[in-house]
Structure 1
Amino acid sequence: MVLGFFNKRRVNRQIVQRQYGVITATARQPCFYTSYNVPDTVMGRFEMLAAVMILFLRRTSKSSEAGKQIAQEIVDAFFLDIDYSIRELGVGDNSVPKRMKKLAGMFYGRLERYADSLQAHDHEQLAIALAQNIHSLAADPSDMAELARWMLENENHLARLDEIVVETGMVSFLVPERLETNNV
């Protein structure tokens, strides 16, 4: 009985590592920073990672209990990664909890705002939300039109995935169009 528990945790850890690796690799695609108008900065990378995580979480919110458990472990890995990154940037130990709280608030605010637009399949509102979060309140939403389209396409793609794909950490994301055309 006890050995089964530890074996399950080891398998879950492998699934989480594999899936979180796919999420971060997707968020790091160069075309987001060269063609989709996301700034190649620490905060720009946070914004992309948050956007991909939000897509993943929206899919797993409709999952079985096993899928939701994996999703929670991936969220935990996401925040551990952010904590580690903040410390790597030289932020003092006393300031980390305060910054983590701020970044968590930003993430969950984006989750709520993007989810509304994704649920409604509202390209225009999603582009506005992305522009305001990634650039500023005065940003031009047309700068985020391609990223909004990519997110909506992935929302549809992820909705079609079988549950076993989620439970085994094999969720993949569509390759950004600009990346495809650059590699051909």
Structure 2
Amino acid sequence: MRKLFSWLGPPPGAKAASLYAALVAMARDKHWYVEGKVSDDLDGRFAILSTLVALATLRLEDGEEDAVRTSVALTEAFIADMDSQMRELGFDTTIGKQVRGLVGALASRVDRWRHASDENADHEEWKAATLFSVYRDEDPGEDALTYAEEQLRRVAERMAGEPDAALIKGDL
């Protein structure tokens, strides 16, 4: 059926497919769940993925016009993936209430990271954003929190150092 309507245009999020795939691969890295002590379940994996998507969204919003458009496509890719995953798991998404909740969770992470990434923000704000975004304000212990905070800072710095075109291609 999808091929039949392919003339209507690419599916939502197609422009950001490579970047989204790179973020998903990054979220699957074991180090988040071992050294970072993120729970290796649906909630923990969602927390890491949505945090990485939030950081990428903020970086894209700081780019040129094509990057800004890709930030919208990245959100669309995230929504499409979450909808697909929830359907696969047997959730009833006809109303979309669950998907809207996940999108709201992404939006709150974007807002939190926007504030923590501000040039006037201090170390404590980045730490608080990590605690909120990755651990949902449940203290994982100082070592795990510090590890996740440092890893997220490295990811954000790596994205900041990439040209828009490379980031859009998913070159992380």
TM range (shorter): 0.7 to 0.9
Post-superposition offset of 1:19: 1.6
What is the match of residue 45 of structure 2? 45
Aligned length, in residue pairs = 163
Q: Would you say 1:146 and 2:144 are equivalent positions?
A: no
Cα distance between partner residues in 2 of 1:135 and 1:141: 10
Q: Deviations over 1:83-141 (max 9, x none)?
A: 111111111244x5111111111111111112211224644333333324444545256
> What CA distance in whole angstroms lies between the structure 1 residues aligned with 2:72 and 2:31?
28
| Equivalent residue runs for 1:89-128 within 5 Å | 89-94=89-94, 97-120=96-119, 122-128=122-128
CA distance in structure 1 between the aligned counterparts of 2:21 and 2:113, rounded to whole angstroms: 22
1:23-81 CA-to-partner distances (Å, cap 9, x unmatched) read 11011111111111111010111111011111211110111111122221121011110
Whole-Å Cα distance in 2 between the matches of residues 62 and 102 of structure 1?
A: 26
Aligned partners of 2:26, 2:134: CA distance in 1, in Å?
17
Q: Which residue of 1 aligns with 2:73?
A: 73
**Letter of the structure 2 residue corresponding to residue 151 of structure 1:** L
Equivalent position SS for 1:29: coil
In the alignment, residue 55 of structure 1 is paired with which amino acid? L
Letter in 1 for 2:105: M
TM-score of the two chains, using structure 1 as the length reference: 0.76
In 2, Cα distance between equivalents of 1:129 and 1:70 = 24
Unaligned 5+ segments in structure 1 are 1-5, 174-184
Percent identity between the aligned chains? 20
Match of 2:162 in 1: 161
**Structure 1 residue 16, shift from structure 2 partner:** 2.5
Contact 2:14/2:73 (8 A) holds in 1: no
CA distance in 1 between counterparts of 2:13 and 2:106 reads 23
C-alpha RMSD of matched pairs (Å): 2.6
Q: Which runs of 5+ in 2 are unaligned?
A: 1-5
8 A contact 1:130–1:141 mirrored in 2: no
Q: Distance in 2 between matches of 1:31 and 1:17?
A: 24
| Corresponding residue SS for 2:63 | coil
Structure 1 distance, partners of 2:163, 2:154, is 17
Q: Which moved more, 1:64-73 or 1:52-61?
A: 64-73
Cα distance in 2, alignment partners of residues 57 and 123 from structure 1: 21
**Counterpart of 2:86?**
86
Identify the range of structure 1 (105-114 vs 125-134) with the bigger mean alpha-carbon deviation.
Answer: 125-134
Q: Is the 8 A contact 2:55 2:156 kept in 1?
A: yes
TM-score when normalising by structure 2: 0.80
